[in-house]
Amino acid sequence: MRTLWLPAMLAGTMLAGDAAAQGAPHTYTLKATPQTVAWGNYNAAATPVLHIHSGDTVIFDTLLTNSPTGLERNGVPPDQVEQSLRDVFDHVTDRGPGGHILTGPVFIEGAEPGDVLEIHIKRISLAIPYAYNGFRYGAGLLTDEFPYAKTKIIPLDREHMTAQFAPGVVIPLHPFFGSMGVAPPPAFGRYDSTPPTIIGGNMDDKALVAGTTLFLPVHAAGALFQVGDGHAAQGNGEVDITALETSLVGSFQFVLHKGVKAPYPRAETPTSYIAMGFDDDLSNATRKALRNMIDFLVTEKGMTRDDAYMLVSVAGDVEVTELVDRNKGVHVVLRKALFAGK
């Protein structure tokens, strides 16, 4: 049975809005429009743009975060700039403090603080035939060595799922959303979309591709899920501040677990468990990720804390997710095959 990263005694408890109570699950499509995006923030006081129930699926359109004029100035033909992006730049004036264009928020009926939202990433597809990468002074890990701004437009081959970065340099594409998160506790107020934290948000974790399941603790009524910051591909670290930034379409199924407390976002791929940690200090981010993995091994695998600590040291992989979003990201990966005998 697939582990849900939830306390074992509660993993079987269902679920507000399950099929028996709500009827067959529904599938919704949420376009990115001036009325359905949040620009640069996660906020418990935000007005939902869609209400769903546990078990439902939402197909999200998302937009890259670059102005139409900026794209055209760097070589994108005007007819390849999405009209939806033009509409959002022309009509959304409530922006910040971050820069991401996020589709949502989506209200999951019955979600309350102390619950966990399980998000199945079912499918991610490229919406446009190009991406961009850019750096600017004041951002990126080597900003003093590159004290200027530059943007590069990179063609995407949707048939072969590759990017032609430069002559003779081809990048395989593994699209994922850099930002997936829920509203913070109301006391946070309007939370900047840039630094990842307990809500998830701008995690920039390239493991969160189609087929991965993300678990987010709920901090506000309805959870208020938002998604954006599409990446066609990214290296661990995202060192210059951007990845292959592009517009994506993503299909997500939401499952609500009532009364299951989780301190931090976690994820599960078909082959691995992933624990996360975010902090401005890279060492502290690593400590958080390690503690989250140890807690999982104790709770779900019945290990002692001593053995869990040892197992992560001898068989786990500690990886830097990103280094450039004020809060650094670290994740710990542990292969499921280690537990084949259980």
Tell me, letter by letter, the H, E, C secondary structure of 109-168: CCCCCCCEEEEEEEEEEECCCEEEEEECCCCCCCHHHCCCCEEEEEEEECCCCEEEEECC
Are 305 and 208 found together in one domain? no
Structural domain includes residue 6: no
**Mutual orientation of helices 282-301 and 305-315 as an angle, nearest 10°?**
120
DSSP 8-class letter at 194: S
Q: Strand 317-322 to strand 130-135: parallel, antiparallel, or no bridges (unpaired)? A: unpaired
Distance CA 237, CA 140 (A): 10
Distance CA 30, CA 249 (A): 10
> Which residue shows structure tokens 């048939």?
159
Structural domain includes residue 112: yes
CB atoms within 10 A of CB 320: 16
> How many domains does the chain contain in total?
2
Are 261 and 286 found together in one domain? no
Are 319 and 306 found together in one domain? yes
DSSP 8-class letter at 208: -
Distance CA 98, CA 271 (A): 34
Q: Strand 150-157 to strand 176-181: parallel, antiparallel, or no bridges (unpaired)? A: unpaired
Asked if 196 and 329 count as a contact pair (C-beta separation under 8 A), the reply is yes
Structural domain includes residue 316: yes
Are 115 and 246 found together in one domain? yes
Are 232 and 320 found together in one domain? no
pLDDT in tens, 272-302: 999 999 999 999 999 999 999 999 999 999 9
Q: Which two tokens stand for residue 273?
A: 């468990």
Structural domain includes residue 181: yes
Asked if 162 and 154 count as a contact pair (C-beta separation under 8 A), the reply is no
Are 245 and 295 found together in one domain? no
CATH number for the domain harbouring residue 306? 3.10.28.20
What range defines the domain where residue 320 resides?
Answer: 272-339
Are 322 and 182 found together in one domain? no
pLDDT in tens, 35-59: 999 999 999 999 999 999 999 999 9
Structural domain includes residue 2: no
CATH number for the domain harbouring residue 47? 2.60.120.580
Listed residue (173, 180, 276, 285) closest to 234, CA to CA: 173
**Alpha-carbon torsion (109, 18, 183, 59), positive or negative:** negative
The average confidence (pLDDT) of the chain is 93
* Among candidate residues 247, 268, 289, the one where a domain is terminated: 268
Structural domain includes residue 307: yes
Distance CA 133, CA 149 (A): 11
Distance CA 229, CA 245 (A): 7
Rounding to the nearest 10 degrees, give the CA dihedral for residues 295, 296, 302, 306. Answer: -40
- Provide the whole-model pTM: 0.92
CB atoms within 10 A of CB 69: 12
pLDDT at 3 over 50: no
pLDDT in tens, 57-109: 999 999 999 999 999 999 999 999 999 999 999 999 999 999 999 999 999 99
Are 279 and 264 found together in one domain? no
Residue 19: which pLDDT band, with cuts at 50, 70 and 90?
A: very low
pLDDT at 334 over 80: yes
Are 167 and 316 found together in one domain? no
pLDDT in tens, 220-278: 999 999 999 999 999 999 999 999 999 999 999 999 999 987 889 999 999 999 999 99
* Among candidate residues 238, 268, 298, the one where a domain is terminated: 268
Asked if 224 and 182 count as a contact pair (C-beta separation under 8 A), the reply is yes
Listed residue (308, 315, 321, 306) closest to 337, CA to CA: 315
